[in-house]
Amino acid sequence: MGAGKRSLTTVTMALACAAAIMAAPGVAYADPTPSPAPRPPASTPASTKDLEAIRKRLDKLYHDAAVATDAYNAAEEQADKQSAQIVELARAIVQGQAKLDKLKDRAGAAARAQYRSGGLPPEAELMLSDNPQQYLDGAGRVRQGERATKSLLAELARTQKDLKQYAKDASAQWQKLESNRKAKAEAKKKVKKQIAAAEKLESELEKDEKERLAELEREAAAKAQTAWLDSGVLDDVKGEATAAGKKAVEYATEQLGKQYEWGAEGPKTFDCSGLTLQAWAAAGQAIPRTSQEQWKQLDRVDIKDMRPGDLIIYNPDASHVAMYIGDGAIIHAPRPGRTVTVAGAGSMPILGVVRPAA
């Protein structure tokens, strides 16, 4: 709440207390000369110090929202993978059951054929045979049949074992899926809570205070960018974009002006990692969904070796990502209430640089 609004509340409470004291029994007061009703004091603008504290508070809230967004995106990605795995396992179970049914039919037919062949010992059958050679030929075929039956039974056992494993794996995937659904729901609540707190804080500012706050944000970003450039960090950066990097930068550039939306991967809205994900997908390269996984899984490069299309990861917890486009600039989806924009690469605390393409 603005300082002016707080002072108005204080005055109102003081007047109420004074009225209560004057109305207390046993206390006499002279009837004062009537005077005009008090007017609320003019709203006092928040000081620069107050606005700077608000700016830092907003940064913290939106940072926490970004962390929760990464958790949401990770849970969603895992849930999608597990759903796909469950579908594959279900397909394998159906196919395995059909195979098992066929094997059982064949095993049953083999058992019936063996039963019909009689139960005499081989020596007796040889002695009673009119044609010993024919018997021996037949005995060879019988041995082949026995080996085939044994192989059939072994395959039957393997198929039954596979089906049990498929069912066990499907059950495990269902449990993981349910766990990730809960994680996704919890992360969603955290995102909404942080964004709601930030929006409430901003809504309590007067129009001119919001303008001054925006100016403070620009000044802080410009100061950080200037310090980064003055450090000479870009003096040796001469990397040129690859064909894939150019396509990724081109895609990101085409999204300028589109709204940030947490959990979004386009085409109308994006969050920070959703933008980099789709930019590199347009260049024919699949990369992880979240900024944290992009930091973990992609090849890391020194800042002096970076080139347009590389991804710059920000904050110690890798909670933000942007695409480097050259000349010390980035394209990124900043936060709720902002649009995809160009900014200075050093305007935020850099964790490191990663490269999607080899």
What the block records as the tokens of 239 is: 């990397």
User: Which position among 289, 332, 335, 355 bears the catalytic label?
Assistant: 332
Q: Where are the alpha helices (DSSP H) in 231-326?
A: 243-254, 272-282, 291-297
**DSSP assigned state of 325:** E
Q: Which of 292, 304, 307 is nearest to 187 (CA)?
A: 292
Residue 332 is a catalytic residue: yes
User: Which position among 184, 212, 320, 335 bears the catalytic label?
Assistant: 320
User: Which position among 46, 272, 312, 345 bears the catalytic label?
Assistant: 272
Helix (H) or strand (E) holding 96: helix 48-116
312 bridge partner residues? 322, 353
Place of tokens 């050093």: 346
Residue 320 is a catalytic residue: yes
Q: What string of DSSP letters covers 338-356?
A: -BSEEEETTSS-EEEEEES
Calpha distance 163→100 (Å, rounded): 9
Spatial CB neighbours of 213, under 8 Å, sequence gap ≥ 6: 51, 54, 55, 58, 202, 205
Spatial CB neighbours of 38, under 8 Å, sequence gap ≥ 6: 11, 15
In the sheet that holds 299-301, the strands lie side by side as 299-301, 350-355, 311-314, 320-326, 329-332, 341-344
**DSSP assigned state of 305:** G
Place of tokens 């004074």: 18
Phi/psi at 195 (5° precision): -65, -40
Residue 63 is a catalytic residue: no
User: Which residues are marked as active site?
Assistant: 272, 320, 332
